Structure 1
Amino acid sequence: MNLAAVKAIYVSEMARFFRTLAQSFLSPVISTSLYFVVFGAAIGSRIDQVEGVAYGAFIVPGLVMLSVMTQAISNASFGIYFPKFIGTIYELLSAPVNFLEIVLGFVGAAATKALFIGVVILGTAALFVDLQILHPFAMMAFLVLTCTSFALFGFIIGIWAQNFEQLQLIPLLVVTPLVFLGGSFYSISMLPPVWQTITMFNPVVYLISGFRWAFFGIADVPVGLSLLAISGFTVLCLGAVWMIFRTGWRIRN
């Protein structure tokens, strides 16, 4: 393992993040505050509690998941796409580093940025609602796994994308709708039976449910199933990245 190469890629990606630290910090704070104004005040005044949890606190795990997933994807996809765009990817491929070291550098930096955003959102949410975490270690495990898996997914999108428009295609048209329809701001049990069955085919449901369980001890699906879902998605993304580097798909051509 060439740790010097991993560190060089990681530090380079994190330097780009620190150059826009104020923007990276203010954006989630403002967006989270707006969510609490809209959902917490407008809807929360009509929905007192959901499964025994105050509505303002109930939406916090969904807010964190929404931001963490989109940030992990966008940071990882842009991080690998930009070297492709300007041609420096060939210098990286010709260097004495293997695909695992490249992935660790890019994905590790993207996951770190998403984790930072998640922590900022949790801190901002604590200013609005009384937030208690029943299982802090499980919460961090779900958060780190989500950051890592979606950073891997974003890495794949960055390799697949052939222009800047395609970088935003899947996050905007696929991931964000799935998060909103995956129980981010409501419980699946509130839906009619037929829609509850349909919603179970949404993979994001399992992530949000497990993450919410870590906060309040309530879940729409079994926690073990949530953990299996996020672990399986991570392994699937790792396999896809391995195949990409093995074949050189959209990297060497």
Structure 2
Amino acid sequence: MNFYAIRAIYLFELARTWRTLLQSIATPVISTSLYFVVFGSAIGARMEAMHGIPYAAFIIPGLIMMALLTESISNASFGIYMPRYSGTIYEVLSAPVSYVEIVIGYVGAAATKSIILGVIILVTARLFVDYEIQHPLLMALFLVLTAVTFCLFGFIIGIWADGWEKLQIVPSLIVMPLAFLGGSFYSIEMLPPLWQKITLFNPVVYLISGFRWSFYGVSDIGVGVSLAMIFGFLVLCLGLVWWIFRTGYRLKN
């Protein structure tokens, strides 16, 4: 394992974050804080408690997960698309660096940025509402697994995209609506029986439900099922990344 190569790619990608601090960190934190103000303070005061949890506290895991999903995909997809766009990816591919080391460097840096963002939002939420974390280790596990998995997914999108517009299609038109419909702001038990069953086909439901369980010990879906879904999607993304480098899909041509 060439740790020097991993370190070089990793630090280069992290350095880009500090150069674009306003866009990478400040913007998503401010956007999520507005959700806390509007939904937590203004609307939350008029909402009934869900599962015995005040509404303002109930939406915290959903908001963190929503920001984590979108930023993980965006960070990783931009990180690998930019070298493809500028042509510097060929220097990386021709260097004595294995595909595994390339993926660890790019995905590791993107996941680190996403985890830092999630922690900052978690701390910021304390300014607006009190909350508790009953299972902090499991919460950290969900945070890290989700960040790594969706950074891998973003890495795949960054290789698949052949234009800047396509980088935003999945986060904006697919992931964000799924997050809104995945129980970020409500419990799926509030839905009619038919829609409860339909909602189970939304993979984001399992992420948010499991993450919420780590906070308050309540969820719409069993925490074991949620972890299994994350691991399943992680394995799928790893398989796709392996296939991309095996075939050279949009990397060597």
TM range (shorter): over 0.9
Aligned equivalent of 2:112: 112
In the alignment, structure 1 residue 203 sits paired with structure 2 residue 214: no
Structure 2 gap ranges (5+): none
1:31-70 map, 5 Å: 31-70=31-70
Structure 1 gap ranges (5+): none
Q: Distance in 2 between matches of 1:245 and 1:28?
A: 32
Q: Structure 2-normalised TM-score? A: 0.98
Q: Distance in 2 between matches of 1:158 and 1:11?
A: 19
Aligned equivalent of 2:130: 130
Q: Distance in 1 between matches of 2:26 and 2:237?
A: 31
Aligned equivalent of 1:193: 193
* 8 Å Cα contact 2:29-2:117 kept in structure 1: no
Q: Distance in 2 between matches of 1:126 and 1:135?
A: 17
Aligned equivalent of 2:83: 83
SS of 2:221's equivalent? Answer: coil
In the alignment, structure 1 residue 249 sits paired with structure 2 residue 249: yes
* 8 Å Cα contact 2:6-2:104 kept in structure 1: yes
* 8 Å Cα contact 2:59-2:186 kept in structure 1: yes
- Provide the alpha-carbon RMSD of the alignment: 0.9
Query: Structure 1, residues 44-75: CA drift from partner, whole Å, max 9, x if none?
Result: 12213111001000000011001111111001
Indicate the larger mover: 27-36 or 168-177: 27-36
In the alignment, residue 195 of structure 1 is paired with which amino acid? W
Q: Distance in 2 between matches of 1:127 and 1:25?
A: 17
- Alpha-carbon deviation of 1:33? 2.1
Aligned equivalent of 1:175: 175
Aligned equivalent of 1:27: 27
Aligned equivalent of 1:16: 16
* 8 Å Cα contact 2:32-2:67 kept in structure 1: no
Aligned equivalent of 1:3: 3
Q: Structure 1-normalised TM-score? A: 0.98
SS of 2:252's equivalent? Answer: coil
SS of 2:93's equivalent? Answer: helix
In the alignment, structure 1 residue 220 sits paired with structure 2 residue 226: no
Query: Structure 1, residues 99-158: CA drift from partner, whole Å, max 9, x if none?
Result: 110000000000001001101110110111111100000000000000000000000000
- Alpha-carbon deviation of 1:27? 1.8
In the alignment, residue 161 of structure 1 is paired with which amino acid? A
Q: Distance in 1 between matches of 2:79 and 2:14?
A: 10
Q: Distance in 2 between matches of 1:221 and 1:233?
A: 17
Q: Distance in 2 between matches of 1:99 and 1:144?
A: 22
Q: Distance in 2 between matches of 1:156 and 1:28?
A: 22
In the alignment, residue 242 of structure 2 is paired with which amino acid? W
Q: Distance in 2 between matches of 1:24 and 1:252?
A: 30
* 8 Å Cα contact 1:28-1:120 kept in structure 2: no
Q: Distance in 2 between matches of 1:119 and 1:225?
A: 24
SS of 1:6's equivalent? Answer: helix
SS of 1:40's equivalent? Answer: helix
- Alpha-carbon deviation of 1:31? 1.3
* 8 Å Cα contact 1:61-1:212 kept in structure 2: yes
In the alignment, residue 217 of structure 2 is paired with which amino acid? G
* 8 Å Cα contact 1:32-1:124 kept in structure 2: no
Q: Distance in 2 between matches of 1:166 and 1:153?
A: 14
